[in-house]
A and B are shown apart, each in its own frame.
Chain A
């Protein structure tokens, strides 16, 4: 072989960007992930626009629906999507192998967060475009806070997804994250606001990451307001899940 030995790492930013891009492409190319990330949220959006489920909540159907659908996207990509792919990568030793390359463990986690943000950006673009066609008119004052909330929600759900993926078998991760996606999607105050949920659920959802993100996004995009309690709940979930994932995540 003509090569001399002795490697050097690519710059940190380049390594993280490469991993983020690679994982985002892998997620988008995966059929089931694409259904979860794009198709189901779009169906939910159309469904909520043509049915009277969200009538009488202080805005047009589409205006009330879109913030919840965007929150659902953050849950799809961060929790279910990243959870499942990380769970199987862990099973197949991919996490261990990549952590021996210059990417390392921190680079790998940073890449995963970047991938979630990239897919989330694509989801916002697709959902936003379809919503615009359906007549969505968000409150301009809420756009920037909404974007920040979405990133926070993505972080909280990714931390939760990694916590599940790093502690149980991938088959269990698959079951747990899909089941919770359905349960929280339907009853977690994410798409359907708390006041439209059955009695007992109303009191619980304020404390769930799904309910907090849904409420905070609706307050931002409908009224341009900041829902401080919901933001605090979301931050708490992100911090707790992040700390728990750091503490209990198993690499093999």
Chain B
């Protein structure tokens, strides 16, 4: 736990009910049930979870866009439900749906938003940095997904905020836009901005986040740095070894029945591409190489990988689609 001055956002026991909903016979639906998190200055904090896990609801409560049912939220030391212009000027928000008027043109729109601040970011620099000058004459309605996201990021940054909320920042981003946006986020973090982002993409969290909260069904299910989460033993039994994945290529259609003990999963994901996942032991590797040797098989490629964040996520939140 760091000193309060370094904290941009702290949420403690957040509860949010919505409704009453006709689909639930007029009962309330608990979207967030006792969620807690802390986000620091100069760090990227990610809320990772499947669609509908409660990520957007959580940060909208933190932004003061939704009224919470219970719990406490402190945004830059203040309650967002009572946010005044002073607090709002220190917080930048990029909404999931952009929130930009379709008929507006990018630069007049940014200039308009900049006018709401006493000492906004130098617009020319922001425009050039996010490549907005390349589509400045196009109305928002006609922008591509990536262009819209870059403009929405510029609009969120124009007040030089201390805290920045990004809701699914890479949604609709082409690879070029993604690089531009990710580089800027990394740079803003170094400048001391506290960045809170939501994502359902493991790759975003793995590339950007200093600290990750995995959210499922409106609750915290795991947290830590990316490295900590990857090493996390998801089994309640601490003596259980780590899950690893062995990837190799060989001729298609091999039958590995009886090579590995129970609990180790072998798949041919594409013809000739195999993955072996489980608590692999040195004996398992020896058994596999012996099996190859007996049949004269030399794999085309071979690698042993730690679990990806996606595996951690799926282990925690279940592999079923809901």
Residues of A within 8 A of B (CB): 1-12, 14-15, 18, 22, 26, 29-30, 88-89, 92-94, 96-104, 107, 251-252
> Cβ of A94: which chain B residues have Cβ within 8 Å of it?
99-101
B-side contacts of A1, CB under 8 Å: 125, 129, 184, 187-188, 191
Task: Give which listed residue, A7, A97, A99, A251, contacts B119 with CB less than 8 A.
Answer: A7
Q: Do residues A5 and B155 form an inter-chain contact, with CB atoms below 8 A?
A: no
When A8-B117, A10-B115, A100-B65 are in contact, do A92 and B97 touch as well, CB less than 8 Å? yes
Contact between A101 and B101, CB atoms less than 8 A apart:
no
The answer, yes or no, to whether B308 is at the interface (CB within 8 Å) is no
Q: Are B118 and A7 in contact (CB under 8 A)?
A: yes
**Is A102 within 8 A of B117, CB to CB?**
yes
Instruction: Kindly report which residue of chain A lies nearest to residue B112, judged by CB atoms.
Output: A22
Known contacts A5-B162, A6-B162: A18-B115 contact under CB 8 Å? yes
B116 CB-CB contact with A under 8 Å: yes
Q: Can you list 11 A-B pairs with a CB-CB distance of less than 8 A?
A: A2-B125, A7-B159, A7-B162, A14-B115, A15-B85, A22-B112, A92-B97, A92-B98, A96-B65, A96-B95, A96-B99
B86 at the interface (CB under 8 A from A): yes
Closest residue of chain A to B94 (Cβ to Cβ) is: A97
Cross-chain contact A89 with B115 (CB below 8 angstroms): no
Query: B103 in the interface, Cβ–Cβ < 8 Å?
Result: yes
- In Å, the complex CA distance between A11 and B89 comes to 11
Contact check, B113 vs A101: say whether CB atoms are below 8 A apart. Answer: yes
Q: Which residues of A contact B159 (CB under 8 A)?
A: 7, 101-102
Query: How close is A110's CB to chain B, nearest CB, in angstroms?
Result: 12
Contact, CB under 8 Å: B191 / A5: yes
A83 CB to nearest B CB, Å: 16
Indicate if the CB atoms of A100 and B91 lie closer than 8 Å: yes
- Choose from A8, A12, A251 the contact partner of B65 (Cβ within 8 Å): A251
- In the complex, A8→B76 CA distance in Å? 14
- B101 near A92 with CB under 8 A, answer yes
Q: What residue of chain A has the Cβ atom nearest to residue B91's Cβ?
A: A100
Are A252's CB and B65's CB within 8 A?
Answer: yes
Chain B contact-residue range equals 35 or more
Across the two chains, which residue of chain B brings its CB closest to A107?
B85
Chain A residues within an 8 Å CB radius of B103: 26, 29-30
Do A7 and B117 touch across chains, with their CB atoms under 8 A apart? Answer: yes
Indicate if the CB atoms of A99 and B65 lie closer than 8 Å.
Answer: yes
B65, A104: Cβ atoms closer than 8 Å: no
Residues of B150-196 whose CB lies within 8 A of A: 155, 159-162, 184, 187-188, 191-193
Contact B99–A97 (Cβ < 8 Å): yes
Known: A93-B95, A99-B65. A9 touches B89 (CB 8 A): yes
Cβ of B244 < 8 Å from any Cβ of A? no
- Bound: A136/B162 CA distance, A: 58
Q: How far is the CB of A218 from chain B (nearest CB, A)?
A: 37
Q: Which residue on A lies nearest to B115, using beta carbons?
A: A18
Contacts known (A89-B101, A100-B63); A8 close to B89, Cβ less than 8 A = yes
Q: Are A10 and B95 in contact, with the CB atoms below 8 A? A: no
Q: Any chain A CB within 8 A of the CB of B288? A: no
B39 interface residue (CB < 8 Å to A): no
Q: Nearest-CB distance from B95 to chain A (Å)?
A: 5
The answer to whether B279 has its CB under 8 Å from any CB of chain A is no
Chain B residues contacting A15 (CB-CB under 8 Å) are 85, 115-116
Cross-interface CB contact of B88 among A14, A18, A102, cutoff 8 Å: A102
Neighbouring A residues of B192 by C-beta, 8 Å: 5
Closest to B80 in A: A100
Q: From residue B118, how far is it (CB to closest CB) to chain A in Å?
A: 4
- Known contacts A1-B188, A8-B119; decide if A101 and B88 are in contact (CB<8 Å): yes
Give bound CA distance, A42 to B119, whole Å: 44
Closest to A89 in B: B101
In the complex, the chain B residue whose C-beta lies closest to that of A22 is B112
CB-based nearest A residue for B192: A5
Q: How far is the CB of B264 from chain A (nearest CB, A)?
A: 48
Task: Tell whether B120 is near chain A: CB-to-CB under 8 Å.
Answer: yes
| CB closest chain-A residue, reference B164 | A5
Q: Could you say which residues of chain A place their CB within 8 Å of the CB of B208?
A: none
Known: A7-B117, A101-B159, A102-B86. 19 other contacts (CB 8 A): A1-B191, A5-B162, A7-B118, A7-B161, A9-B117, A10-B116, A10-B117, A11-B118, A15-B85, A30-B103, A93-B97, A93-B98, A96-B65, A97-B99, A97-B155, A101-B116, A102-B88, A103-B116, A104-B88
A100 to B60, CA, bound (A): 10
Please report the C-alpha to C-alpha distance between residue A133 and residue B37 in the assembled complex, in whole angstroms. Answer: 68
Q: Does B121 contact A (CB under 8 A)?
A: yes
Contact A8 B101 (CB under 8 A): no
Given A94-B100, A97-B155, A100-B91, A9-B187 contact (CB < 8 Å): no
* A100 engages B88 (CB within 8 Å): yes
- Asked whether A6 lies within 8 Å of B93 as measured between CB atoms, the reply is no
- Say whether B122 faces chain A, with CB atoms less than 8 Å apart: yes
Min C-beta distance of A198 to chain B, whole Å: 40
Q: How many angstroms from the CA of A9 to the CA of B113 in the assembled complex?
A: 11
Give the nearest-CB partner of B193 in chain A. A5
Within 8 A of A (CB), among B26-83: 63-65, 83
